[in-house]
Amino acid sequence: MTVEDKNQEEPKAEETPVEEPKAEETPAEEPKAEETPAEEPKAEEILDYLGKVPSNNSIDSFSSGDTVILNLLIKEGDRERVQSFQGNVIRGSHINGNKVLPGKTFTVRRISSGVGVERTVPISSPSIESVKVIRKGKVRKSKLYYLRDLTGKKARIKEAR
């Protein structure tokens, strides 16, 4: 029986090292808690990214209600061409000198063959060649979705003085 006691003691000794890695896993969880402060610099990196977004200097200052000509670069296979889209800005605005944030868009609407056509474009898009303001509109709302239901003279926007 003494031999069996020795055999039983040896597995107990083996079980002790098995418990030691479990004790080591607890400190391994603590660095995970330390990773949370490491996420804060990621937020700072995002702020740095916002400062690095290039602004397009060929975009005039505009707001909703303005009539603009939007020149876009269109890629067809190997060729590139410029396509113009003239219409009223029904959503979005841009002021020269201000930072362009990613995700900021504007929508231009026009009537083509009796059908309303809207184009939503990101301001920081490299496909924009230029945006020229033809006429400043006098409106009291920032989003002119009500123009979708109007036709003819009722859909006109007064010119700002």
- The pTM score is 0.64
Helix, strand, coil share (%) of the chain residues, nearest 5: 35, 30, 30
- Cα(157)–Cα(161) distance, integer angstroms: 13
Out of 16-20, 101-105, 141-145, 151-155, which region has the weakest mean confidence (pLDDT)? 16-20
Q: What confidence tens digit (pLDDT) does each residue in 37-94 have?
A: 544 556 666 555 555 555 667 788 899 999 999 999 999 999 999 999 999 999 998 8
Q: Which of the following CATH numbers is that of domain 67-149: 3.40.50.360, 2.60.260.20, 3.50.50.60, 2.30.30.790?
A: 2.30.30.790
Query: How far lies 38's CA from each of 12, 43, 44, 45, in Å?
Result: 41, 10, 11, 12
Torsion sign over Cα 84, 88, 91, 94: positive
pLDDT digits (tens, 9 = 90+) for 108-122: 999 999 899 999 999
pLDDT digits (tens, 9 = 90+) for 7-42: 555 555 555 555 555 545 555 455 554 444 544 556
Count of residues in the chain: 161
